[in-house]
Structure 1
Amino acid sequence: MVGIILASHGDFAEGILQSGSMIFGDQENVKAVTLMPNEGPNDIKAKMKEAIASFGDQEEVLFLVDLWGGTPFNQANSLFEEYKDKWAVVSGLNLPMLIEAYASRLSMNTAREIATHIIGTAREGIKIRPEELEIAKATAPAPSRSNTGTPGKFKYVLARIDSRLLHGQVATAWTKATQPTRIIVVSDAVTKDELRKKLIQQAAPPGVKAHVVPVDQMIKLAKDDQHFGGQRALLLFENPQDALKVVEGGVPLKTINVGSMAHSPGKVQPNKVLAFSQEDIDTFIKLKEAGLDFDVRKVPNDSKGDMNEILKKSQDELNRLRQY
């Protein structure tokens, strides 16, 4: 029997698992895995591996995830790469999709067959009242986001430091708030990692192109005034050092959004989402000296943090660690 993993931000996967059991009865080889606010990508990936290990048949696995491009999707997608001739990943999890997946397992034996079949039911389950609103939406012209080259340079709608790079908060909240035509991951390290590049490109939201370029290439692109007129660029940096390099190279950024910096040995963590080494602190000081402002928040609706206070707290903690 095909194993099913329900994956979500927060408790949604647990809740929809319970709803499915109420309607279709308890199911074997179905696990819910959740990404909680205090967890990171490695945590949910470990939960997925544990869930897969509990299935009787690990050759046929179907992931039903909440959001395309979100962390649960990205981690499922990274596991999927090794089994892409067998497994399947479907985003947009809803209750009609889950019920149809349960029913399909009675007559279908492969994850890919079930994935193909349940898409129609999932879409048909999305309805609206009054009905004329659905008709009006269907006939409205789609907004245009041209990616064709015209004279001019990039307009930078967001430059963000985020160790997770392109994930749910970027693919949804920040993309909707800033309306980019291109998401550009600027990283020498990621450029050399073909798997990470592929996963980032696959996580791009509809209508937006995702690219991975090295630092030197981004500096060259920023100086090109012949091909990027009308293009709205959202830049993603894995660390502040890469951001400083592009600023020193002439990329005209005015503000850096600081969203997430992962903890690692030698770093201090002044809050839940940011961790700093001495090199990080020194780099932010250089960015400030270069005239950049800092916008410290995970998503657009968050209140902004005070970067000066965060850096001071981090420096004090590092100094205390050196005394021991």
Structure 2
Amino acid sequence: MNIAITRIDERLIHGQVAYSWSVEYQVNEIVVVDDEIVHDDMQKMLLEMAAPKGKSLQILSVEQAADYLKGSENKTVFLVVRTPQTILDLVNKGVHFDSINIGGMYYKEGKEQITKTVYVDDSEKQIFKELASKGVLLDVRTAPGDKSIDLTTKI
């Protein structure tokens, strides 16, 4: 299994994810990892409708994804999650990431804006620092052609 790109985006699959990112990285499968959505038939149906034609879609829990991503299938995967906690949970279950892309983490009460499209709270800052300490490059870009910003320079 080749994880071509891993992205944190609260919207999961939308136009940019479905087309810009999946085309740029030549993926043949999108894997959504979310412990809540995996049990929500309506959200799963919406994600299935948003997934681009010609790309398979997996919607998995953290536990399922940890096993699935360690598989030997010949697939190039775009992994997308809503929160940095999901990434940390996967890392703690043995999934390796060289880098992750941080995209849409939007404003909520108690969050601080650190880039145009990324707002974080103290807990998320700590998670990102822990991921960085494990050697994960934290790349902030909204679209594939954007200039990369190293998140560690902002937290």
Match of 1:190 among 37, 54, 59: 37
TM-score, structure 1 normalization: 0.47
Same amino acid, percent of matched pairs: 32
Cα pair 1:201 1:209 within 8 Å, conserved: no
Secondary structure class of the residue paired with 2:139: strand
- Amino acid aligned to 2:11: R
Whole-angstrom distance in 2 between the partners of 1:245 and 1:292: 14
Number of residue pairs aligned between Structure 1 and Structure 2: 155
Residue of structure 2 in register with 1:279 after alignment: 123
- Amino acid aligned to 2:105: M
Whole-angstrom distance in 1 between the partners of 2:104 and 2:88: 16
Residue of structure 1 in register with 2:26 after alignment: 179
TM-superposed deviation, 1:193 = 1.7
Alpha-carbon RMSD across the aligned residues, in angstroms, is 1.1
Whole-angstrom distance in 1 between the partners of 2:69 and 2:60: 12
Deviations 1:56-109 (A, max 9, x none): xxxxxxxxxxxxxxxxxxxxxxxxxxxxxxxxxxxxxxxxxxxxxxxxxxxxxx
More helix by share: 1
Residue of structure 2 in register with 1:208 after alignment: 55
Match of 1:238 among 78, 82, 86: 82
Secondary structure class of the residue paired with 2:119: coil
Structure possessing the higher radius of gyration over alpha carbons: 1
Secondary structure class of the residue paired with 1:270: strand
TM-superposed deviation, 1:168 = 0.6
Q: Which moved more, 1:216-225 or 1:205-214?
A: 216-225
Map 1:152-167 to 2 at 5 A: 154-167=1-14
TM-superposed deviation, 1:179 = 1.1
- Consecutive aligned runs of 4 or more in structure 1 exceeding 2 Å deviation: 222-225
TM-superposed deviation, 1:262 = 1.6
TM-superposed deviation, 1:192 = 2.0
- Amino acid aligned to 2:141: R
TM-score, structure 2 normalization: 0.95
Whole-angstrom distance in 2 between the partners of 1:293 and 1:270: 17
TM-superposed deviation, 1:224 = 2.7
Residue of structure 1 in register with 2:92 after alignment: 248
TM-superposed deviation, 1:247 = 1.2
More strand by share: 2
Q: Which runs of 5+ in 1 are unaligned?
A: 1-153, 312-324
TM-superposed deviation, 1:294 = 1.4
